[in-house]
Amino acid sequence: MSDRKPEALPITLRNITKTYGEIHALDDVSLDVRSGEFLTLLGPSGSGKTTLLMVLAGFTRPDRGSLKFGEHEVIRKPPHLRDVGMTFQNYALFPHMNVAGNVGYPLKLRGVSRAERAERVERALETVQLAGFGARGVDQLSGGQKQRVALARSIVFEPRILLMDEPLSALDKKLRDRMQIELRHLHEQLGMTTVYVTHDQREALTMSDRIAVVNNGRIMQLATPQELYEQPANKFVADFIGDSTFLPVSRAGDRLVAGGVTLKTTRPAPQSARLTLMLRPERIRLMEGETGDANVFHATVSELVYQGESFLLYARLADGSELVVRGAIRDETFRSLPAPGATVTLGITPADTVVIADEDR
């Protein structure tokens, strides 16, 4: 790779629609990806996130809409003329080529000379920490090494946009966690605009500048990881990002009531016909003595689960609703925690009392 970072390009999508029969894979999607940012498309299987990435790559032609890279409309350009790097879920390496042949293939297509090709391939391999691997066969590589080769191939020609389709999904958890950090550092080093697809919310939270949560062909919310976690736009986002339990909220004049408790909050409730209280398990506390200004719920423990460094406590309110508490096991022993059948007082601060719209868009 050259010392000079390629000039990153912003991406502008407007009213992108793609249908397959009666299925709306993409439903009037508009999205702005900032120059040089790492944006993740996050959603469940069938949500439309991969279809949207294929539109960016040029492998899927939408029924209507506009797509610009910088100032240039590219919606009708074929993939090989879009000058974007791409890594696939299954790596898509050529088994009959060695590592250098795979990495250098995009340069060969672009007519780069053999000598320059060899030099740029080696620089790309150094970038992904595979210096000296050029002569190895693909079948001699581990899963993590194959992923790095695929990444080197996607960046060797210094594209200004990099597209990634669940490139870590085939790796084991420890390697996947390590590669998340490495990919993030590589993005910062290269500076190109990156659009990344995953269904793993923790992966998205770890790597992204911003996340677009996708469901049913629509973008539910576009925000930073912290904003998505702390201020989800609706119940779908709250349920998909992190762990949550929910209680229905009713209005009683100016009051908001959930689980028989009049809620104290620091954030205004959304203007929605239906509301729900989002409760993050790690924000709920087992209370003893003074409860201060916390919103307090009285419940009965139904189950206690040991998870090594932490515990999960399941408790039921009088109306049958279930709350989940997650806490760290430090000096106290697991056996000192309330046993099933015990009555407990659960508290959550007004700042962590988040009322959201009970709808999917």
Q: Over the stretch 194-213, which tens digit does the pLDDT of each residue have? A: 999 999 999 999 999 999 99
Q: Write the pLDDT tens digit of every residue in 246-267.
A: 999 998 888 999 998 999 999 8
* Residue 355 to residue 267: CA distance in whole angstroms: 8
Clarify whether residues 198 and 59 are in a common domain.
Answer: yes
In a domain, 79, yes or no: yes
Write down the pTM of the prediction: 0.88
If one counts every other C-beta atom within 10 angstroms of the C-beta of residue 236, the result is 22
Clarify whether residues 114 and 194 are in a common domain.
Answer: yes
Clarify whether residues 41 and 172 are in a common domain.
Answer: yes
- Listed residue (261, 254, 262, 258) closest to 276, CA to CA: 258
CB-based contacts of 314-319 (< 8 A; 24+ apart in sequence)? 315/344, 315/346, 317/259, 317/260, 318/260, 319/259, 319/260
- Listed residue (263, 232, 261) closest to 357, CA to CA: 232
Amino acid residing at 210:
R
CATH of the domain at 327: 2.40.50.140
Q: Which residues contact 283 (CB under 8 A, 6 or more apart)?
A: 348, 349, 352
Clarify whether residues 212 and 139 are in a common domain.
Answer: yes
pLDDT for 64 equals 96
Please state the rounded mean pLDDT for residues 149-173: 88
pLDDT for 5 equals 60
Q: How many domains does the chain have?
A: 2
pLDDT for 57 equals 95
* Residue 88 to residue 268: CA distance in whole angstroms: 43
Q: Which helix (H) or strand (E) holds 145?
A: helix 143-155
In a domain, 114, yes or no: yes
Clarify whether residues 326 and 199 are in a common domain.
Answer: no
> Given 230, 257, 282, which residue is the final one in a domain?
230
- Listed residue (277, 240, 241) closest to 353, CA to CA: 277
- Listed residue (19, 14, 23) closest to 68, CA to CA: 14
Q: Write the pLDDT tens digit of every residue in 211-252.
A: 999 999 999 999 999 999 999 999 999 999 989 999 999 988
Compute φ and ψ for 117, nearest 5 degrees.
-60, -45
Clarify whether residues 328 and 282 are in a common domain.
Answer: yes
In a domain, 120, yes or no: yes
Q: Write the pLDDT tens digit of every residue in 99-141.
A: 999 999 989 888 899 999 999 999 999 888 888 899 999 999 9
Please state the rounded mean pLDDT for residues 336-360: 90
Q: Write the pLDDT tens digit of every residue in 77-98.
A: 999 889 899 988 777 888 999 9
In a domain, 237, yes or no: no
In a domain, 84, yes or no: yes
In a domain, 2, yes or no: no
> Given 196, 230, 264, which residue is the final one in a domain?
230
pLDDT for 31 equals 97
* pLDDT class of 337 with cuts at 50, 70, 90: confident
* Residue 112 to residue 104: CA distance in whole angstroms: 9
Clarify whether residues 207 and 278 are in a common domain.
Answer: no
Clarify whether residues 141 and 198 are in a common domain.
Answer: yes
**DSSP string covering 37-76:** -EEEEE--TTSSHHHHHHHHHTSS--SEEEEEETTEE-TT
Q: Where are the beta strands (DSSP E) in the chain?
A: 11-20, 23-33, 38-42, 64-69, 72-73, 84-87, 161-165, 193-198, 210-215, 218-223, 245-252, 255-258, 261-262, 275-279, 285-286, 295-306, 310-316, 322-328, 343-348, 354-357
Q: Which two tokens stand for residue 328?
A: 């760290």
Residue corresponding to tokens 């062909």:
217
* Residue 48, domain extent: 11-230
In a domain, 4, yes or no: no
Residue corresponding to tokens 């919103």:
295
Clarify whether residues 223 and 261 are in a common domain.
Answer: no
pLDDT for 360 equals 62
Q: At residue 288, does pLDDT exceed 90?
A: no
Q: What average pLDDT does the structure give for the chain?
A: 90
Clarify whether residues 20 and 128 are in a common domain.
Answer: yes
* pLDDT class of 361 with cuts at 50, 70, 90: low
